[in-house]
Amino acid sequence: MKIDVRHFDEVIVVDLNGRLVAGDGADILGEVVSALLEEHWTKILLNFEKVTTIDSTGAGELVASLKAAKSAEASLKLLRPRERVAKSLQIGQLLPLFEIFADESDAVKSF
């Protein structure tokens, strides 16, 4: 999993690229979100456009990141999850937990 972080004013965009699975990307996601929360970023957008696969560990880390954000009074939203990833989140009944956007500028404006 490769992760790039960029920002638009007060919104941090985390570009994820690869597989969000045990032993590959799940731990990295949690570390990045924790670091951003420690730096007091409160508007986090996870760009899932290039995430090819998510497993139960990755989904668990995503939910843990959402809980950590809420505890820090921060917002965490998703951008462009691929159909396969969205389907995995839907099967796990996790899709309703997240605000999901297809357009980056709409997502940034939503904060």
Contacts by residues 98-102 (CB-CB < 8 Å, ≥ 24 positions apart): 98/66, 99/75, 101/45, 101/77
pLDDT for residue 92 = 86
User: pTM for this one?
Assistant: 0.95
As a whole number, mean pLDDT of residues 97-102 equals 96
User: For residue range 37-68, what is the model confidence (pLDDT) as tens digits?
Assistant: 999 999 999 999 999 999 999 999 999 999 99
Mean confidence (pLDDT) of the chain = 95
Confidence of residue 4 (pLDDT cuts 50, 70, 90): very high
> Among 4, 24, 26, 28, which residue's Cα sits nearest to residue 15?
4
Confidence of residue 23 (pLDDT cuts 50, 70, 90): confident
Residue 24 pLDDT > 80? no
Residue 28: enclosing H or E segment and its boundaries?
Answer: helix 26-38
pLDDT for residue 26 = 85
In the sheet with 100-101, reading across from the earlier edge strand, the strands are: 2-8, 11-20, 43-54, 75-79, 100-101
Confidence of residue 25 (pLDDT cuts 50, 70, 90): confident
